[in-house]
Amino acid sequence: MDNKTYLNISYFVVIVICLGAARVAYFWLRRPVEGIVNALPRQNLGSFIKCAFPLSILLFVLSACLSVSYPGGCNPTPYDKIVADRAYIISKNEEQISASLHAVAIGALLWTGIIAFSLFTVQRGNTRRKVKEKKDGSWVV
């Protein structure tokens, strides 16, 4: 297989691998997220999280994979020179996969923060509702 064909095929194979990593991450995290979302009293927040979670993981991974660039800038490397170096093509493929796995970790951390914040605000709201004032002026929880 010549390097030009290898470049084209490997680019799409790497994208498929990256999307597979996003799918694995989603299915791995789906049940814990659904369990937490179902425990939330506000269903509109839960439905937002259920819709946004898989889409954001997919977009994080896809954008990270596509963000890896070949040399450019002021002195762009000619296409023929890129195609001629198979080791360089392989290193860029590895960089794409690495960036995608990094995006999975960042996405999981981001959603951990969002869910923790929503649980904190829900818990804080529940605590405020449970505190009531007696007729004699004292507070009861």
pLDDT band at 121; cut points 50, 70, 90: confident
Domain count, the chain: 1
Which strand (E) or helix (H) includes residue 132? strand 132-133
Q: Find the domain containing 97 and state its range.
A: 3-140
Model confidence, pTM: 0.75
Residue position matching structure tokens 């390097």: 3
Alpha-carbon span 117 to 106, nearest angstrom? 17
Residue 77: the pLDDT is 73
Q: pLDDT (tens digit, 9 = 90+) per residue, 41-100? A: 777 878 888 889 999 999 999 999 888 887 765 667 777 888 888 898 899 899 999 999
CB-based contacts of 50, cutoff 8 Å, min separation 6: 33, 34, 37
DSSP states of 75-86? SPPPHHHHHH-H
